[in-house]
């Protein structure tokens, strides 16, 4: 069978279950495809070919016994910020260039229980700090729709890998839009679950009160299937909520008649590309045609403070989390000195990239004596107001719909020297992390030949509403079936 790498999870699962293909055949096809396109896309930091074939054989043995679940034997890419025992986990940083974790993240353990197949670790912005995957210490990932453009970030390698079929699905992490924005730029689906829905144990920390792991997939059905596996309470992560996990595939219904959808005007920001606005307006009109009740005049007034609050809260947490990289316990260590303090200083100076150092300095300043109340404490108060905005909106609406990004993918190098312009790329996604609510980005059309993402937001622990409305839109359109010219 040809082009097995183009399958979705649910398509691959059916073929595996019916024994029309084997996991080894599927995995070999994916690996061969990686070799044919990786030199143009650069989605992977580490390829795990031997591990992949070994896992595929194990999966085939399980399938032969009748032990098959939706992710059994299906190849995946894992963002290189998620710990994998015995497999290099670099966070795209020189600081952890040779770090091999002695344990697996909880999400990896859950995937292993389903006999998953890992084909590699995906490139990213260093320590998940960035919106373009240009901040990787190793190389830039290219957008499969236009290799002169960025794939978004920080989960750019994961999104580009899914878009170009270097895997059947991928895991990313999302601190301020790092799953949804690259999913939008690359024309795939990406879901950030509610904070506390998925364990963060084994996710290398950036901003602990904002980070969340989630799926990047080829369609909405696959998002539901991955969520079914990775969600749930974990005793190793005190922030996970002890709630039962629903079967998310039950939410995949094409009927959204009577569903209440709000359109927050603050997300159609000044500077938004006119072509992106037009695509979103047409897409929202499609939701109306499908029977949804759409209110175009919703207001979330504190949204305008989201960017400022985020860039105090996230760097503050980053400055604390990254203090552990002192060159003593693990990771890069500067040794060309007999002075302990100089060794620590040079370790951080040489081990971290420019954007990571910028955010550490921002956070350290915001937390310093005399400035804590003026910056960090005030940002926490704004966070409460933003969360309250969402809570009030969800008293009247089932979901909110917004652009995922105010622009399509920009050219490599275009914003790398302008941090503020880069930060504005996440204007539509940051408030969701601040509030801790779930959101998904799905393909909604094209502008200037590049994918446009549409974002749905729902109340805490209501991923089902996101999947329902996304699935209905997906079934009524064909955007998710479009493939990049590179494929």
- pLDDT tens digits along 401-459: 999 999 999 999 999 888 888 988 899 999 999 999 999 999 999 999 999 999 999 99
Greatest Cα pair distance in the chain: 71
79 carries an active-site annotation: yes
Within a domain: 407? no
Choosing from 22, 131, 132, 178, which is the catalytic residue? 178
| Structure confidence by residue, pLDDT tens digits, 303-318 | 999 999 999 999 999 9
Q: How many other C-beta atoms lie within 10 A of the C-beta of residue 102?
A: 8
Pick the catalytic residue: 22, 23, 55, 79? 79
- Is the pTM above the cut of 0.95? yes
Inside any domain, residue 392 = no
In a domain, 150, yes or no: yes
Domain-located, residue 147: yes
Active-site residue, from 131, 136, 154, 173: 154
Computed over every residue of the chain, the mean pLDDT equals 96
What DSSP assignment string belongs to 385-452? HHHHHHHHHTTT-SEEEEES-SS-PPBTTSSTT-HHHHHGGGTTTHHHHHHT--EEEEEEEEETTEEE
Q: Is 154 a catalytic residue?
A: yes
Residue 42 lies in a domain: yes
Is 178 an annotated catalytic residue?
yes
- Domain of 177, CATH number, reads 3.90.1300.10
Whether 309 maps to a domain, the answer reads: no
Q: Is residue 336 part of a domain?
A: no
pLDDT score for 1 = 80
Which regions of 229-309 does DSSP assign to beta strands (E)? 260-264, 293-298
Per-residue model confidence (pLDDT) at position 62: 98
d(CA 434, CA 209): 8
Q: How many domains does the chain have?
A: 1
Q: Per residue in 47-74, pLDDT tens?
A: 999 999 999 999 999 999 999 999 999 9
pLDDT at 329: 87
pLDDT given for residue 369 in this prediction: 86
Domain with 54, as residue range(s), is 4-256+474-481
Instruction: Report residue 133 as tokens.
Output: 């995957």
Rounded CA gap, 158 and 128, in Å? 12
- 279-304 pLDDT, tens digit each: 999 999 999 999 999 999 999 999 99
Q: What is the pLDDT of residue 432?
A: 98
């Amino acid at each position: 069978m040809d082009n097995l790498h183009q399958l979705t999870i649910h398509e691959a699962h059916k073929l595996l279950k019916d024994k029309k293909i084997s996991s080894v055949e599927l995995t070999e096809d994916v690996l061969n495809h990686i070799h044919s396109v990786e030199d143009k896309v650069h989605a992977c930091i580490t390829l795990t070919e031997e591990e992949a074939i070994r896992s595929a054989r194990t999966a085939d043995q399980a399938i032969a016994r009748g032990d098959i679940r939706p992710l059994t034997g299906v190849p995946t890419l894992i963002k290189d910020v998620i710990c994998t025992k015995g497999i290099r986990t670099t966070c795209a940083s020189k600081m952890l260039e040779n770090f091999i974790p002695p344990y697996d993240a909880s999400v990896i353990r859950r995937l292993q229980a389903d006999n998953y197949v890992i084909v590699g670790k995906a490139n990213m912005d260093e320590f998940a700090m960035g919106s373009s995957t240009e901040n990787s210490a190793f190389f830039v990932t290219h957008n499969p729709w236009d290799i002169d453009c960025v794939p978004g970030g920080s989960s750019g390698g994961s999104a580009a890998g899914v878009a170009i079929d270097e895997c059947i699905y991928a895991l990313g992490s999302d601190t301020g839009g790092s799953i949804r924005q690259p999913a939008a730029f690359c024309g795939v689906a990406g879901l950030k679950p509610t904070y506390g829905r998925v364990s963060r144990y084994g996710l290398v920390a950036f901003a602990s009160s904002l980070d969340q792991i989630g799926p990047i997939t080829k369609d909405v059905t696959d998002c539901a299937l991955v969520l079914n596996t990775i969600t749930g309470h974990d005793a190793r992560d005190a922030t996970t909520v002890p709630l039962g996990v629903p079967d998310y595939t039950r939410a995949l219904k094409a009927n959204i008649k009577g569903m209440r959808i709000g359109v927050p005007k603050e997300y159609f920001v000044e500077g938004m590309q006119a072509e992106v606005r037009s695509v979103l307006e047409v897409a929202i009109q499609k939701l109306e045609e499908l029977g949804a009740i759409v209110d175009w005049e919703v207001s979330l007034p504190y949204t305008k403070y989201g960017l400022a609050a985020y860039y105090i809260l996230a760097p503050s947490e980053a400055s604390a989390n990254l203090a552990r990289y002192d060159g003593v316990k693990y990771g890069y260590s500067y040794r060309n000195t007999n002075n302990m303090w100089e060794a620590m200083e040079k370790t951080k100076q040489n081990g971290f990239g420019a954007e990571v150092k910028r955010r550490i300095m921002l956070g350290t300043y915001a937390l310093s004596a005399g400035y804590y109340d003026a910056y960090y404490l005030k940002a926490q108060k704004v966070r409460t107001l933003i969360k309250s905005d969402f809570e009030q909106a969800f008293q009247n609406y089932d979901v909110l719909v917004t652009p995922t990004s105010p622009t399509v993918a920009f050219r490599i190098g275009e914003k790398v020297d302008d941090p503020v312009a880069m930060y504005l790329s996440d204007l539509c996604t940051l408030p969701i992390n601040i509030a801790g609510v779930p959101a998904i980005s799905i393909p909604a059309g094209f502008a200037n030949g590049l994918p446009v993402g549409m974002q749905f937001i729902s109340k805490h622990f209501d991923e089902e509403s996101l999947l329902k409305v996304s699935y209905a839109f997906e079934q009524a359109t064909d955007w998710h079936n479009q493939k990049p010219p590179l494929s």
